Chains A and B, each alone.
Chain A
Amino acid sequence: MQKITKTGRIVVTIGLLIMAILLASVTISYMEGGIKEQEEGLETWEPGGEQHPVIVNRPGLMPMVDSGKKDHNGNAVLIRCNNCHDVKKPNTLTADATQLDDFHQNMTFKHHSLKCASCHNPEDYESLRLADGTSVAFSNVMQLCAQCHGPQYRDYKNGSHGGMTGYWDLTRGPRKRNNCVDCHDPHAPAYPKLMPVFPPKTRAGTKGDASTH
């Protein structure tokens, strides 16, 4: 009996010792914080200070239309709007290219039920017209879009709609942003369907065989 209790005591002692070592190492590694704090020596980000500009892409100042002819370099010959529209009388009800006699026939219109004159200024075809009658330059087209697409315009301003490149941190560099019409054709604004690039692979030597349903 004596022997057993003695053994038992040794077992308990060694067991406790192991537990104590484990516990101690747990505490030590916690106190060390595992990951050493690297705070010191880091510079601080300052939001204030001079801000670089956000440059919004602008469409060309002068709108042109394709004449369908090519110059001797093979480039399309473009014609200013006012070449014709200065003299032609506008029909404010035109909503479709098929209703036109020359030019523009190959254009598709898929912008709800808008008419040409909903956006184009019938008094000056080299500018656009807001709903309240104010004339807007083509380069400020976003103002026109924003009339109807308020939420999108809001999101655009908040940075959650529309592609961009450059700097998130404007104190360190500028940012370039797309304009509505860079991605959306104003005459058929739905984003076009496209083929996805870069199919996924499971690993080298395999072709996209990560199949799901």
Chain B
Amino acid sequence: MSADNATLTENVQHDARFHVNSYPKFLRLALRLCTSGSWTFYAWMIFLTCVALVGANAWAIQVRDGMITTSMTDHVSWGLYIANFTFLVGLAAGGVMMVIPAYIYKDKDMHDTVIIGELLAIASIAMCLMFVIADLGRPDRFWHMLPVVGKFNFPISMLTWDVIVLNGYMLLNLHICGYLLYKRFLGEVPNPKWYVPFVFISIAWAISIHTVTAFLYCGLGGRPFWNTALLAPRFLTTAFCAGPAFIIIVLQIIRRMTSMKIGSGSIRTLTSIMRITILINLVMLASELFTEFYTGGSHATAAKYLYFGHHGLNALQPWIWVSTISVVVAAILLMRPKIHEHMRTLDVACVLIFVGIWIEKGMGLIIPGFIPSTLHEWVEYIPSAIEWKVSAGIWAAGLMIYTLLLKVAIPIFTGQTGASSKGTHR
């Protein structure tokens, strides 16, 4: 943690009564911090609220009328929701790409900004859970999934593993961020005993969340498109492109909008991570495509449909080509020497990566797993308006969570809370 301008006291011992008094104060401050800001902040929040409300309304209609309001069918039984879910697990795992340099390689700049990645993990997991609930036919029976009260089909069902790792990851990050912020609020140096072990566990955990999510799909023998051992490694590499890409943009926004010091080291490190991971991803993509297309047969059917369509059915073609071209262009842009000094190029590359991976891990991965169906029937899928609304709403809710978390964290972290916090927003 940087020592900024505030002086921090070390190793103060408190009794429980102290915390009973000061923790509510901390929460009150947090509430104040996240409800006051500039007009830009209010405008941004109102915008997000409106989108979220549209999404909430669409979801309520979907629950009332049934999933018939979506475009999903018995042939393509997962759609935009699970696509977004998959991508967001990656985004959450991608945050760890800040944690590793900060804590394992002791990168100073990264250490100062790592909380931005950890908060992103919290917001993304929150979105993941919302997307899962949006996809349930019976959200009222959500409690059936809880251990003890419901029936938790552990360890056979991969979905129960996913429930464990996602919630575990969220708790880990909530603990780490909450502890650090509280200590900062008290003006004390955090005790490494209380958070460093959890940071290391969260590193391993981040890898587990995306691996388990990949296992959801690649364990299904009836779906040749997913049934590849390369799925989990590819999930990880794409996560480690998309996560840093998102964080680089966020860091720049924070730099512009707040007084938080964002060392150029953070962006440089993240950029070099992206440079590597995107190339690894492209290598894996190429080897996947080679295996599919050179061998042919039923394993290649879905990939052929995805990239080239099938007898006039080509709903996924635009998606996947946008994705492939974005990722390839981004990889080329990232090769520009000293790219971290050319922010415009870097930003373009980041947006391309984000969009490209969002499609690749979503519409380009979940949907073709169902086309053709297991009986080789060809039914296409184009998301319905309700699905777009719900998805947009969840993204808005997630961004709202992330904005508020940053809104609380940054002033406390930079030690300039209260009156001087004016104009701190994202």
Contact = CB atoms under 8 A, between A and B. Distances in A.
Given A10-B197, A14-B197, A15-B201, A204 B75 contact: no
A15 B201 CA distance: 7
Given A210-B379, A212-B376, A202 B196 contact: no
Output the residue of B197, B376, B377, B379 with the most chain A CB within 10 A: B197
B74 interface: yes
B154 A10 contact: no
A75 B137 CA distance: 57
| 4 closest residue pairs by CB, A with B | A10-B197, A11-B200, A210-B377, A26-B155
B204 interface: yes
A25 B157 CA distance: 13
Given A11-B201, A202-B379, A211-B313, 6 more contacts: A14-B198, A29-B154, A209-B379, A210-B75, A210-B378, A211-B378
B166 to A, nearest CB: 15
Contact of A3 (B73, B74, B156, B192): B192
Nearest to A34: B156
B311 A213 contact: yes
B344 interface: no
B192 A25 contact: no
B153 A10 contact: no
A34 B156 CA distance: 9
A170 to B, nearest CB: 35
Nearest to B313: A211
Interface size grouping (class) on chain B: 20 to 34
A212 B377 contact: yes
Interface in A1-60: 3, 6-7, 10-11, 14-15, 18, 22, 25-26, 29, 34
B155 A29 contact: yes
B354 to A, nearest CB: 32
B311 A25 contact: no
Contacts of A204: 68
Most chain A CB inside 10 Å of its own CB: which residue of B74, B198, B200, B376? B200
B17 interface: no
Nearest to A8: B200
Interface string B65-86: 0001000011100000000000
Interface string B213-248: 000000000000000000000000000000000000
Interface string A177-205: 00000000000000000000000001111
Contact of B73 (A11, A22, A202, A212): A202
5 contacts: A34-B156, A203-B68, A206-B73, A212-B377, A212-B378
B200 A7 contact: yes
B197 A7 contact: yes
A89 to B, nearest CB: 61
Interface in B363-395: 376-379
A50 to B, nearest CB: 43
A7 B194 CA distance: 10
